[in-house]
Amino acid sequence: MSDQAKLTVIGAAPEAAGDPQSAARAVREMFTSIAPRYDLLNHVLSFNVDRLWWRRAARAFSSVLARPDTRVLDLCCGTGDMTFALHRRVTNSAATILGVDFSHAMLQRASQKSVGTSLSWVEADALNLPFPDAHFDLVTAAFGFRNLANYDAGLREIARILRPGGECGILDFGEPRGLIGRVYRIYFKRVLPGIGTMISGVRGPYAYLPASVERFPQPAELLERMRVAGFREASWTPYTFGIAGLYRGKK
């Protein structure tokens, strides 16, 4: 049996979604519904720590961003905060940075925020990207990879579009342990959904968020999935006691 066959295929599973297609559709609808308040809610619900996570993740790829003519793709970019963090660390005007998301409403917000910059936005499905093989030097995904309907297919698609030696960075939520973990889970599962629903006026997305994090593979499992998909030097660096963390790998 191959390594891939040993791993059960898993992905996002919003309530009432019975297959990958309906799961993807439900995720798109959820993010479209909260797009107008998405940035505000991210900052409020994370106490602005999300800004530090994006900056730290972008800094981890400074060497790639400093290369002449580097090509960077920020996958599941939402309104573009990770894309902007990457853009701020680019040192060469010939660099290309694209943000990709399948929510038109999210990309509209990103486009409004990026007026006057060289950033570009593409509406596309992360599991079927409109780019040739071996095209990018770096592919990132910040708090969006967890929402893919098939994590393994997502990793394979990232590997496909990366050049040999290209790097992957997945920034996403984790589940901290110990006393901090217990306190955080009370906030994340009981307080956060209520605040998110109150501010956004939409219940579904903020009830889905804790469930999606609980379903997401633990670091050791996701690192194994990355290795099976073709990544070497796979690693995970926890941020803020493990509330979030950066997964890295090289094609």
pLDDT in tens, 35-48: 888 888 788 778 88
Residue 77 placed within a domain: yes
| Per-residue confidence (pLDDT) for residue 2, from 0 to 100 | 43
Residue 205 placed within a domain: no
CA proximity to 152, closest of 75, 225, 231, 251 = 225
The CATH number that applies at residue 56 is: 3.40.50.150
CA proximity to 222, closest of 165, 141, 161 = 141
| Per-residue confidence (pLDDT) for residue 7, from 0 to 100 | 62
Q: What is the dihedral of CA 13, 18, 22, 26, to 10 degrees?
A: -40
Residue 211 placed within a domain: no
CA of 242: how far to CAs of 55, 171, 196, in Å?
A: 16, 11, 22
| Per-residue confidence (pLDDT) for residue 9, from 0 to 100 | 63
Residue 55 placed within a domain: yes
pLDDT in tens, 162-203: 999 999 999 999 999 999 899 998 998 889 888 888 888 887
Residues of the chain with pLDDT under 50: 1-2, 4-5
Residue 189 placed within a domain: no
Residue 188 placed within a domain: no
Tokens of 88: 């701020």
Residue 124 placed within a domain: yes
List, in sequence order, every residue forming a beta bridge with 167; answer none if it has no partner: 138, 250
pLDDT > 70: percent of the chain: 96
Residue 88 placed within a domain: yes
Print the domain residue range for 120. Answer: 13-25+48-175+217-250
Domain count, the chain: 1
CA proximity to 31, closest of 41, 17, 16 = 41
